[in-house]
Amino acid sequence: MSVWRVILSILFPPLAVYDRGCGSILIVLILTVLGWVPGVIAALIILNNPKKDV
């Protein structure tokens, strides 16, 4: 997880998880609309998990 991704996840969480798939973007977007802090926490958790190749 790079420093830029952490900063981006704090400023605009859905944009930070754009390469993790549509489901991750939707989850983080919904949580960000409901409250900024849950969106940031979800984005950081998603970014902390290793990316799985399909």
For residue range 12-30, list pLDDT tens digits in order: 999 999 988 899 999 999 9
Residue 22 structure tokens: 């549509």
Query: Tell me, what's the pLDDT at 8?
Result: 93
* Mean pLDDT, range 3-20, rounded to an integer: 92
For residue range 34-54, list pLDDT tens digits in order: 999 999 999 999 999 887 766
* Neighbour count for residue 38 (Cβ, 10 Å): 15
Query: Tell me, what's the pLDDT at 49?
Result: 87
- Locate tokens 């409901």: which residue? 34
d(CA 25, CA 35): 15
- Reduce the DSSP state of residue 8 to 3 states and report it: helix
Query: Tell me, what's the pLDDT at 30?
Result: 96
Amino acid at 17: V
Query: Tell me, what's the pLDDT at 50?
Result: 82
